[in-house]
Structure 1
Amino acid sequence: MTKLHLRRRSVLAAAPALVVGTVAAPYIARAQGKPEKPKVVLAVGGKSALYYLSLTIAEKKGFFKDAGLDVEINDFQGGSKSLEALMGGSADVTSGAYEHTIRMQQRGQPIVGFALMGRGMQIAIGLRKDIAAKVKGPADIKGMKFGVSAPGSSTHMLLLSWAAKGGLKASDVIAIGVGAGATVVAAVEKGQVDGVSQTDPALTILQDKGLIDIKVDTRTTKGNQEVFGGPFPAACLYTQPGFLKKNPNTAQALATAIVRADEWLQTASPADVANTVPEAYLLGDRAIYEKSFAGVRETISPDGMMPPGAMENCLKFLSDADPKIAADKAKIKLEETWTNEFAQRAKKHS
Structure 2
Amino acid sequence: MKDALTRHARTRRALTIYGTTITLLAGLGAGLAPAPAAAAPREPLEKPKLSIAVGGKPGLYYLPLTIAEQLGYFKDEGLDVTIDDFAGGSKALQAVVGGSADVGTGAFEHTLLMQAKGMVYQSFVVLGAAPQLVLAVVRAKEASVKSVKDLKGMRIGVSAPGSSTHMLVNVALGKVGLKPTDVSIVGVGSSTTVVAGVRGGQIDAISNVDPMITLLQQSGDIRVLIDTRTQAGSRAVFGGPMPAAVMYASESFIQKNPRTVQALANAIVRADKWLQKATGAELLKAVPENYLLGDKTLYLKAFDNCRDAFSKDGLMPADGPPTALRALASFSPEVKPAQIKLDKTYTNAFAEKANRSYP
> What is the TM-score normalised by the length of structure 1?
0.89
- Matched with 1:14 is none
Q: Contact 1:270–1:294 at 8 Å: present in 2 too?
A: no
Matches within 5 A, 1:33-112: 33-112=43-122
Q: 1:83 to 1:60 in 2, by over 3 A?
A: same
* Percent of aligned positions that are identical: 50
* Equivalent residue letter for 1:197: S
* Equivalent residue letter for 2:66: T
Matches within 5 A, 1:173-188: 173-188=183-198
| TM-superposed deviation, 1:115 | 0.6
Instruction: Decide which of 325, 350, 355 is 1:347's aligned counterpart.
Output: 355
Give the secondary-structure state (helix, strand or coil) at the position aligned to 1:130. helix
* Equivalent residue letter for 1:124: V
Q: Deviations over 1:288-339 (max 9, x none)?
A: 11011111111100110001311111111111222222xx111111100000
Q: Deviations over 1:143-168 (max 9, x none)?
A: 21111110000001111111122322
| TM-superposed deviation, 1:222 | 1.6
Instruction: Decide which of 263, 271, 280 is 1:253's aligned counterpart.
Output: 263
Task: Establish whether residue 277 from structure 1 lines up as the match of residue 287 from structure 2.
Answer: yes
* Cα distance in 1 between the residues matched to 2:127 and 2:326: 20
Q: Contact 2:148–2:225 at 8 Å: present in 1 too?
A: no
Greater Cα shift, 206-215 or 136-145: 136-145
- Matched with 2:31 is none
* Cα distance in 1 between the residues matched to 2:119 and 2:73: 31
Matches within 5 A, 1:130-209: 130-209=140-219
The structure with higher relative contact order (CA 8 Å, sep 6+) is 1
Q: Contact 1:96–1:237 at 8 Å: present in 2 too?
A: yes
Q: Contact 2:49–2:80 at 8 Å: present in 1 too?
A: yes
Q: Deviations over 1:73-93 (max 9, x none)?
A: 000000000000000000100
Give the secondary-structure state (helix, strand or coil) at the position aligned to 1:322. coil
Q: Deviations over 1:48-86 (max 9, x none)?
A: 000000000000000000000000000000000000000
* Cα distance in 1 between the residues matched to 2:226 and 2:147: 10
Instruction: Decide which of 321, 326, 343 is 1:335's aligned counterpart.
Output: 343
Instruction: Decide which of 129, 133, 154 is 2:139's aligned counterpart.
Output: 129
* Equivalent residue letter for 1:84: Q
> What is the TM-score normalised by the length of structure 2?
0.86
| TM-superposed deviation, 1:187 | 1.0
* Cα distance in 1 between the residues matched to 2:281 and 2:156: 32
- Matched with 2:27 is none
Q: Deviations over 1:220-273 (max 9, x none)?
A: 122012112232110010000011111000000000000000000000012321
- Matched with 1:267 is 277
| TM-superposed deviation, 1:33 | 2.4
In the TM superposition, structure 1's runs of 4+ consecutive aligned residues that sit over 4 Å from their partners are: none
| TM-superposed deviation, 1:172 | 1.6
Give the secondary-structure state (helix, strand or coil) at the position aligned to 1:122. coil
Q: Contact 2:54–2:88 at 8 Å: present in 1 too?
A: yes
* Cα distance in 1 between the residues matched to 2:145 and 2:82: 43
Measured on the aligned residues, the alpha-carbon RMSD in Å equals 1.1
Q: Contact 1:230–1:310 at 8 Å: present in 2 too?
A: yes
* Cα distance in 2 between the residues matched to 1:292 and 1:215: 17
| TM-superposed deviation, 1:129 | 2.0
Greater Cα shift, 151-160 or 177-186: 177-186
Q: Which runs of 5+ in 2 are unaligned?
A: 1-41
* Cα distance in 1 between the residues matched to 2:301 and 2:148: 28
Q: Contact 2:59–2:210 at 8 Å: present in 1 too?
A: yes
Greater Cα shift, 116-125 or 220-229: 220-229
* Cα distance in 2 between the residues matched to 1:130 and 1:310: 37
Greater Cα shift, 339-348 or 267-276: 267-276
Give the secondary-structure state (helix, strand or coil) at the position aligned to 2:144. coil
Give the secondary-structure state (helix, strand or coil) at the position aligned to 1:232. coil
* Equivalent residue letter for 1:34: P
| TM-superposed deviation, 1:132 | 2.3
* Cα distance in 1 between the residues matched to 2:182 and 2:282: 43
Q: Work out which of the two has the higher radius of gyration on C-alpha atoms and give 1 or 2.
A: 2
Greater Cα shift, 339-348 or 304-313: 304-313
| TM-superposed deviation, 1:176 | 1.0
* Cα distance in 2 between the residues matched to 1:110 and 1:244: 11
* Cα distance in 1 between the residues matched to 2:184 and 2:298: 29
* Equivalent residue letter for 1:53: L
Give the secondary-structure state (helix, strand or coil) at the position aligned to 2:223. strand
Instruction: Decide which of 228, 231, 236 is 1:221's aligned counterpart.
Output: 231
Matches within 5 A, 1:256-335: 256-325=266-335, 328-335=336-343
Greater Cα shift, 241-250 or 169-178: 169-178
* Equivalent residue letter for 1:349: S
